[in-house]
Amino acid sequence: MYEFYCRLYQTLFRMAAYALPWRRPELLQGENSLQKLPALIKKKGVERVLVVTDKGLSALGLMEGFLSGLRDAGIVFFIYDRTVPNPTVDNIEEALGLYTSEGCQGIVAFGGGSPLDCAKGVGARLARPHKTMSQLRGTLKIRKAIPPLFAVPTTAGTGSETTLTAVITDSATKEKYPVNDLALIPHVAVLDPVLTLKLPPSLTATTGMDALCHAVEAYIGRSNTRKTKEYSKRATALIFENLYKAYADGTDLEARGRMLQASHEAGLAFTRAYVGNIHAIAHALGALYSIPHGLANAVLMPYVLEYYGPAAQSSLAELADWAGLAAAGDSTADKAAKFIAAIQELNRVMQIPDHIEGIAEQDLDAIAARAYREANPFYPVPKILSKMEFIKIVQMIRKEEGATE
């Protein structure tokens, strides 16, 4: 009966989604495209901006040219660089305070998924000043315009520069939850591969697998449109062709640019078709243990896809064909198995582990409960999992203390 309720909810939401005002961000794309952003910000009438980033990016100096461009354009800027991995409600409130006290008119999100999510959170609070982030969790709770949001990703993974989602962590409750609203789609996105050249191999690997997870979960779900399927297929093929190249040679600007495109198209896919149980578990693990989101997704992906069994085989077989992983005469089951094996091989060659250390047995119930709450009834997954099935999957990836490979 509960599965029927979930499927009915998903069907009704999918039908209603066709009437929603979907939009795509204006794109600045290509080598050194960031140089065009200050003039565009000025053109949009924004003269005071909050730049949301993190300490690591500040130290790398990636923003210096951009900040000089803002000065030359006569735009006053204020930097919030205290964003942490898995950005918190406290991050958002601090950044919000800086935005309001300095009379800012727009927000520049500069960095990986964490600064982008933090910036979206600031936008959400500005649109709904009398609501807390906890009250805005879930779907379509904002429904008011946010200030101009300019997204500058420095990783090829989250696709957050084009999505309606911000993922927030509550430090007090150790909960991690999504806030989904069309208002959060950035107004402008900059895809400049030069900004990803300094990304270390480990982050290139895990953020790239995050993008793959977005494409795959969107494709195998039940809320696809013709467009989202196209985005997912192209993103999947681009990632299999370019992720290891970018990992092995971080200076390969062509591979870096194609990974940014893949991440962007995967973002376009899942912002409309949604993610699934992999993300639900990854968010729970991130909240409890601060496990990087891309790493959690990379480890979980083959386990969850295999657990789905026949429910996902047809879709995985299609992706295997699109990515050039199948051979003539392979059965649907063979193709799906080859696709999962290719994910495992990508993880292996990029030194991503196949288990996660530090997951405490006493936390299994809490992890499962949080994943179950996030996934159901909203995510249109191939197979709706019970709490016990979530526990079973987490046990599969859990590396017990003292265990050897």
pLDDT in tens, 290-301: 999 999 999 999
Residues 293, 158: Cα–Cα separation, whole Å: 9
Instruction: Express as a percent the part of the chain with pLDDT over 90.
Output: 90
Rounded distance between C-alpha atoms, residue 280 and residue 364, angstroms? 14
Asked if residue 404 has pLDDT above 50, the reply is no
- pLDDT band at residue 405 under the 50/70/90 scheme: very low
Cα–Cα dist 49/107, whole Å = 5
DSSP H or E segment with residue 178: strand 175-180
* pLDDT given for residue 344 in this prediction: 98
pLDDT digits (tens, 9 = 90+) for 219-268: 999 999 999 999 999 999 999 999 999 999 999 999 999 999 999 999 99
The phi and psi torsions of 170 (rounded to 5 degrees) equal -95, 110
d(CA 124, CA 95): 12
Provide the pLDDT for residue 281: 98
Write out pLDDT tens, residues 100-157. 999 999 999 999 999 999 999 999 999 999 999 999 999 999 999 999 999 999 999 9
108 within 8 A of 57, measured Cβ to Cβ? no
Cβ contacts of 121 within 8 Å, gap of 6 or more:
87, 89, 91, 92, 95, 133, 166, 168, 179
Give the per-residue pLDDT at 175.
Answer: 87
Give the whole-angstrom CA distance, residue 144 versus residue 123. 10
